[in-house]
Each structure stands twice: as structure tokens, then as C-alpha cells.
């Protein structure tokens, strides 16, 4: 992937041009990428792109790298949206690159999607991804804290908020991503708890909130689920509890 990026080729072209001799400028560009990767830089930052839900997204160091486990949340959100006839108002809170908002609008064309983030640099990346997928008319971006800038009467609220605790040693590839998008107070549960407290007031009757979380904060959430009539958990590709679904 890095060699194809350095040479501005498709990966297939590497095989089609197998006997091509590289010049020193090309080798130097490739060595630079390899060095940065060896130091822990995510591949997505080096090539500037990442596939998510079979869609292509621009990714910069201002946003988290889209994670395959987050597709569990999006797939469940698509199912919930289709249960409402594929229409309605949906929020993506802490949108980052905009991958969740764009995927929802792409796969459920009847949705109106509101996406928020408190970081203007992340919103700039999200805006470019929304435009690249020609979804400006259905995905609206807002700057602000959690649900504060968004309207009410939402059928669905989705969020992949920071949920890691400070302290434990993390791989360089994790630490290369924006600190404020990874770590949260109260052992990692702080922002998720605030989100659960805000969500009922913004949900339409029968609406649901879908939150990506880590198993380590599961117990901390229990006391904040009483405003909801029901809740359940969805597991990720490794079998870990990953997505909390709570219904109003």
C-alpha cells in the first residue's frame, strides 16, 4: 500500500510493472513512508485514505482512523433506520471524519443526518468527505458539545465517542491519533455518560441511541440507563461487547 502510494499507482500496477527500476527520488519517498510507519504512524495517515463500509474516506491526523469494529454500530443503525421505513432524522455525535454520517446517508437514502463535533479541524475533514460523496443536501454539520447544537425529535442517535481511560500503555499507532478523540475522564466513561443523560430529551418516542463503547466501562453505564425502556448489547467481530443500544 505504501509503495503504491509513493509511486501514485494502483496496487495492481505494482505487479504489472514488476521489472520497473525505481529512481532515487521514488525510493526516498518510499523510505520516508516506511520510516514513519515503523515509528507507529497509522497507514491511513500516510496514504490519506481509509475504506469504511466499502466507502472511501479522506483521513488526516485531525481525526480518528475509521475502525472496522465501528461498522457494527453502522450496520445496526441501518437496520433501525429501515425499521422506520428508511426515513427520519438521525444524529452522528462526535462525527470526526464523518464516516458514520456519510455511511448512513449513503445506505439509507431517505435519512436526514445531523452530525456534530466540537473540533473545527475535524469538521473540515468531515465536510470534505460529505462533499466527496455528494451528500451535502442530506448531511448537515454542526460545531458544538455533544447533542447541544442538534435538533430534537430524532429517531436515532449514533456516537463513537472517546471511551479509553488514561494511564494504560497504548500502542504507538493508537497514540498517534488525536488524544481528545480517544481518552475521556471517569475511567473513559465520562463523555458516554453525559451522552446517555442528554439523549432522552433529543429522541422521538420509540427512538434509540447507539453508542460504541469498551467493555471496561460497561458497569459504569448501568446507573444511567433507567430513563430508557429497554437496552441491549451488540458484539464486535472479536466477540467483545461493543455497541450499546438503548430505546426511549
Domain match, 16 and 131 both: no
| All residues at 6 or more sequence positions from 214 whose CB lies less than 8 Å from its CB, including other chains | 163, 164, 188
Question: Is residue 10 in some structural domain?
Answer: yes
Number of Cα atoms under 13 Å in the Cβ half of residue 206: 6
Q: Under DSSP, is residue 154 helix (H, G, I), strand (E, B) or coil?
A: strand
Domain match, 93 and 27 both: no
Residue 126 CB-density burial (10 A; 0-12 exposed, 13-18 middle, 19+ buried): buried
Range of the domain at 7: 2-39
Which pTM does this prediction carry?
0.93
Question: Is residue 181 in some structural domain?
Answer: yes
Q: How far out from the chain centre does Cα 73 lie?
A: 10
Name the grid cell of 37: 510507519
Domain match, 10 and 64 both: no
Which tens digit of pLDDT belongs to each residue from 104-158? Answer: 999 999 999 999 999 999 999 999 999 999 999 999 999 999 999 999 999 999 9
Question: Is residue 111 in some structural domain?
Answer: yes
> Cα dist. 119→94, 105, 123, 196 in Å?
9, 22, 6, 21
Name the grid cell of 110: 431517505
Domain match, 19 and 137 both: no
Q: What is the mean pLDDT of residues 153-176?
A: 92
Residue pair 186/134 in contact (Cβ under 8 Å)? The answer is no
Return d(Cα 186, Cα 217) in angstroms, integer. Answer: 9
Residue pair 67/43 in contact (Cβ under 8 Å)? The answer is no
Whose CA is closest to 202, among 157, 152, 167? 152
Q: What is the mean pLDDT of residues 161-168?
A: 90
How much of the chain exceeds pLDDT 70, in percent?
Answer: 100
Compute, in degrees rounded to 10, the torsion defined by CA atoms 195, 200, 202, 207: 110
Q: What is the mean pLDDT of residues 15-37?
A: 94
Q: What are phi and psi of 33, to 5 degrees?
A: -65, -40
Residue found under cell 465517542? 161
Could you give the number of structural domains in the chain? 2
Question: Is residue 194 in some structural domain?
Answer: yes
Q: pLDDT grade, residue 237 (50/70/90)? A: confident
Q: State yes or no: pLDDT of 175 exceeds 80.
A: yes
Q: What single-letter DSSP state applies at residue 20?
A: P
The pLDDT score that the predictor gives to residue 169 is 85
Residue pair 75/100 in contact (Cβ under 8 Å)? The answer is no
Q: Under the phi-then-psi rule, with left for phi > 0, alpha for psi from -120 to 50, and beta for the rest, what region is 28? A: alpha
Domain match, 166 and 127 both: yes
Domain match, 15 and 97 both: no
Question: Is residue 44 in some structural domain?
Answer: no
Q: State yes or no: pLDDT of 167 exceeds 90.
A: no
Question: Is residue 191 in some structural domain?
Answer: yes
Which tens digit of pLDDT belongs to each residue from 68-113? Answer: 999 999 999 999 999 888 889 999 999 999 999 999 999 999 999 9
Whose CA is closest to 99, among 58, 138, 143? 58
Q: What is the mean pLDDT of residues 46-56?
A: 97
Q: Under DSSP, is residue 241 helix (H, G, I), strand (E, B) or coil?
A: strand
Which tens digit of pLDDT belongs to each residue from 176-230? Answer: 999 999 999 999 999 999 999 999 999 999 999 999 999 889 899 988 999 999 9
Domain match, 65 and 174 both: yes
Q: How far apart are the first and last CA of the chain?
A: 45
Return d(Cα 99, Cα 117) in angstroms, integer. Answer: 13
- Average pLDDT of the chain is 95
Q: State yes or no: pLDDT of 172 exceeds 80.
A: yes
> Cα dist. 72→20, 77, 182 in Å?
42, 9, 18
The pLDDT score that the predictor gives to residue 207 is 95
Question: Is residue 86 in some structural domain?
Answer: yes
Domain match, 58 and 30 both: no
Domain match, 141 and 31 both: no
Domain match, 209 and 159 both: yes
Domain match, 24 and 88 both: no
Question: Is residue 131 in some structural domain?
Answer: yes
For residue 102, the domain's CATH number is 3.40.50.150
Domain match, 31 and 54 both: no
Q: State yes or no: pLDDT of 168 exceeds 80.
A: no
Amino acid at each position: 500500500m505504501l509503495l503504491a502510494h509513493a509511486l501514485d499507482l494502483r496496487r495492481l500496477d505494482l505487479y504489472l510493472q514488476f521489472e520497473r527500476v525505481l529512481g532515487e527520488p521514488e525510493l526516498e519517498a518510499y523510505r520516508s513512508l516506511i520510516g514513519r510507519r515503523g515509528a507507529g504512524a497509522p497507514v491511513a495517515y500516510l496514504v490519506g485514505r481509509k475504506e469504511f463500509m466499502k466507502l472511501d474516506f479522506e483521513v488526516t491526523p485531525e481525526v480518528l482512523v475509521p475502525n472496522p469494529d465501528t461498522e457494527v454500530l453502522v450496520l445496526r443503525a441501518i437496520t433501525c433506520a429501515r425499521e422506520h421505513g428508511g426515513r427520519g432524522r438521525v444524529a452522528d455525535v462526535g462525527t470526526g471524519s464523518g464516516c458514520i454520517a456519510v455511511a448512513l446517508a449513503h445506505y439509507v437514502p431517505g435519512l436526514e443526518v445531523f452530525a456534530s463535533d466540537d473540533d473545527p479541524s475535524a469538521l473540515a475533514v468531515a465536510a470534505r468527505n460529505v462533499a466527496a460523496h455528494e451528500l451535502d443536501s442530506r448531511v448537515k454539520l454542526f460545531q458544538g458539545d455533544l447533542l447541544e447544537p442538534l435538533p430534537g425529535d430524532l429517531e436515532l442517535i449514533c456516537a463513537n465517542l472517546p471511551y479509553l481511560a488514561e494511564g494504560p500503555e497504548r500502542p504507538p499507532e493508537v497514540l498517534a491519533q488525536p488524544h481528545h478523540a480517544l481518552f475521556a475522564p471517569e475511567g473513559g466513561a465520562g463523555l458516554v455518560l453525559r451522552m446517555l443523560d442528554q439523549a432522552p430529551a433529543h429522541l422521538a418516542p420509540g427512538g434509540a441511541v447507539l453508542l460504541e463503547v469498551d467493555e471496561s466501562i460497561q458497569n459504569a453505564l448501568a446507573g444511567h440507563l433507567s430513563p430508557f425502556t429497554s437496552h441491549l448489547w451488540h458484539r464486535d467481530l472479536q466477540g467483545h461487547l461493543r455497541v450499546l443500544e438503548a430505546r426511549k
